[in-house]
Amino acid sequence: MMAALRFIGAASLTYAAFKLFDYASFYLLPPASLARYRTTEDAWALVTGASAGIGLGTAQELAARGFNVVLLGHLPAELDAAAALVRAERRAAQVRVVVLDAIASTPHEIEAALGPIAALPVTVLVNNVGGFPIDEPTLRYLSDYTAEDLDRSLNINARFMAHVSRVLLPRLAENGPALVLNMSSASRMGIPWAAPYSGCKGFVISFTASVAREMIAAGSEVDCVAIVPGDVHSQSNTLWLSPGSPDSRQYAKAMLDRAPRAARRGWLECAPWFAHALGFALLDILPGPAVLFLLTEFAKQKEAAARALKRA
């Protein structure tokens, strides 16, 4: 009996050590390559929410790594400025812009705008658009939302991503190997006073996992990974940042360095920035009351910072 228990204990420790080494190696190994998805010399990537923040940083990184890039956003002037920055990364890079409002665009408008893009050899899709609609309170009780407010939040954070994926996935499968990165958020764990936003970020996780498994079942070479960021310094997130927060370009680089490795390992989601991953792991092991306290304080500090930014 004792021998069996010792064997079980040794096996458990060995497995735990292997899992720890495997997890650490995800961050310690050299950057993974996107070459698998650059199937032709003129391979294209499409990034939504690409005029600023993580979206712009991702577009710049993709151009620097040999991709032509489609920038999708809703403000033409900002998209033109972003396009100039992306072209500066690599003179030979081709850049196109698509103007679409993620909140208000109908399925027909999305299909019409993406029709010409689907004709390109697109092999990378980054569904980055999301956030709190402009000019609305950042955090509030669900009962304080109007029906229109709720629809706006659901549209920008879930509906638009789903329609873009629906339109482009068949083309990505034809062009494969292809990569789809869907931006979730640490808020997926359930931030107080952000129920629609948090719920949509949870939707991104499940949606990505379902699509990834559909692609595998269909024999399509389309890798799908949900990306889970924590705090990232961007044009819309400048005050009260958590320690170790990267800027948008740093985060985009880490994401593109590690997402291919996550896909090869069969992971359906990953947190590319190590400090974020440590924070998420801590929240997973803390008791419920402690998690509630931390998330509540986080929400209050974020709201105070957002109000200060609006006043400024």
Among 81-90, 193-202, 297-306, name the one with the lowest average pLDDT: 297-306
- Please give the helix or strand (H or E) that residue 225 lies within, else none: strand 222-227
Tell me what the mean pLDDT of segment 275-291 comes to: 85
Over 80: is that where the pLDDT of 6 sits? no
Over 80: is that where the pLDDT of 139 sits? yes
CATH 3.40.50.720 fits 32-311, yes or no: yes
Over 90: is that where the pLDDT of 197 sits? yes
- Are 121 and 113 spatial neighbours (Cβ–Cβ below 8 Å)? no
Query: Could you tell me the end-to-end alpha-carbon distance of the chain, in angstroms, rounded to an integer?
Result: 70
Q: In the prediction, which pLDDT does 231 show?
A: 84
Query: Based on C-alpha coordinates, what's the Rg of the chain?
Result: 20
Tell me what the mean pLDDT of segment 180-187 comes to: 94
Quick one: tokens of 54?
């993580």
Among 178-182, 229-233, 269-273, name the one with the lowest average pLDDT: 229-233
**Mean pLDDT over the full length of the chain:** 88
- Are 26 and 48 spatial neighbours (Cβ–Cβ below 8 Å)? no
Over 90: is that where the pLDDT of 300 sits? no
Q: In the prediction, which pLDDT does 227 show?
A: 97
Q: In the prediction, which pLDDT does 61 show?
A: 97
Rounded Cα distance, 114 and 108, in Å: 10
Compute CA 234 distance to the chain's CA centroid, rounded to the nearest angstrom: 14
Listed by start position, the domains of the chain span 32-311
Q: In the prediction, which pLDDT does 5 show?
A: 59
Q: Which of 81, 267, 55 is nearest to 161 (CA)?
A: 55
Tell me what the mean pLDDT of segment 187-203 comes to: 92
Q: Which of 102, 222, 129 is nearest to 170 (CA)?
A: 222
Q: What is the largest CA-CA distance in the chain?
A: 73
Tell me which residue has tokens 């034809």: 174
- Are 173 and 221 spatial neighbours (Cβ–Cβ below 8 Å)? yes
- Give pLDDT tens digits for 36-51: 999 888 999 999 999 9
Rounded Cα distance, 43 and 65, in Å: 11
pLDDT-derived band of residue 19, with 50, 70 and 90 as boundaries?
Answer: low
Over 90: is that where the pLDDT of 60 sits? yes
Among 143-152, 228-237, 261-270, 284-293, name the one with the lowest average pLDDT: 228-237
Q: How far is CA 187 from CA 11, 192, 193, in A?
A: 36, 9, 11
